[in-house]
Structure 1
Amino acid sequence: MIIGTAAIEFYIPQSHSLKDKRRVLKSIIARVSNKFNVSAAEIDLHELWGRALVGIACVSNDTRYANQVLSQIINMVENEITEAEMVSHGIEIW
């Protein structure tokens, strides 16, 4: 069993409260989860209004497939997500 994880840090410039932040994150997490059939959740920076760290997990039997899915997610976030800016990201495969 291969487990792939990605951590994406976001800057959310339009967020002026935790409620704004959670609304934006809920939308991003739903889009990623539905499009790629992965698990995603906010994993850190819970109390900061303008920043968020989202973790994504993918389980597969093929290392290349897990890496491909996570790379596609990173590309989608860079190109399609307009309500938040990706500050950094990382991918790990186990």
Structure 2
Amino acid sequence: MIVYAECTFFIPMAASLKEKRSVLKSMTDRTKNSYNVSIAEIDHQNLWQRTTLALVATASSKDAAEREVRRAIRLLESNPEWEMTQMTVDFY
């Protein structure tokens, strides 16, 4: 089973791409190190205060893959430097 999620975040304190990338790098590295998911920025690379991340997990069962993605999303949401504005989850 494959679980795919897209999450869009607003980063209000970012005043440059450098500041945005600092927040983004920190959170993507933490997510990769904490959970068995792949994560990448897929949209808004040139905007200072927005980003869209894709997360993917694979497992032998839907529940296991979904649990891993949901845990990773909770970690991303816990960062006070940004707020999630949109999220979609799909199953394949």
Q: What secondary structure is seen at the aligned counterpart in 2 of 1:25?
A: helix
Aligned length: 92
Which whole-Å deviations, capped at 9, do the CAs of 1:24-60 have from their partners, x for residues lacking one?
Answer: 1001101111111211110001111100001111111
1:84 equivalent to 2:82? Answer: yes
Q: Which position in structure 2 is the counterpart of 1:60?
A: 59
The one-letter code matched in structure 2 to 1:56 is L
Q: Percent identity, please.
A: 35
TM-aligned CA deviation for residue 66 of structure 1: 0.9
TM-aligned CA deviation for residue 82 of structure 1: 1.2
Query: Could you list the runs of 5+ residues in structure 2 that have no partner in the other structure?
Result: none
Q: Which position in structure 2 is the counterpart of 1:70?
A: 69
Which whole-Å deviations, capped at 9, do the CAs of 1:58-82 have from their partners, x for residues lacking one?
Answer: 111111111111122222323x211
Q: Structure 1-normalised TM-score?
A: 0.90
Query: Structure 1: which 4+ aligned runs deviate by more than 4 Å?
Result: none
The one-letter code matched in structure 2 to 1:85 is E
Q: Which position in structure 1 is the counterpart of 2:20?
A: 21
Q: What secondary structure is seen at the aligned counterpart in 2 of 1:5?
A: strand
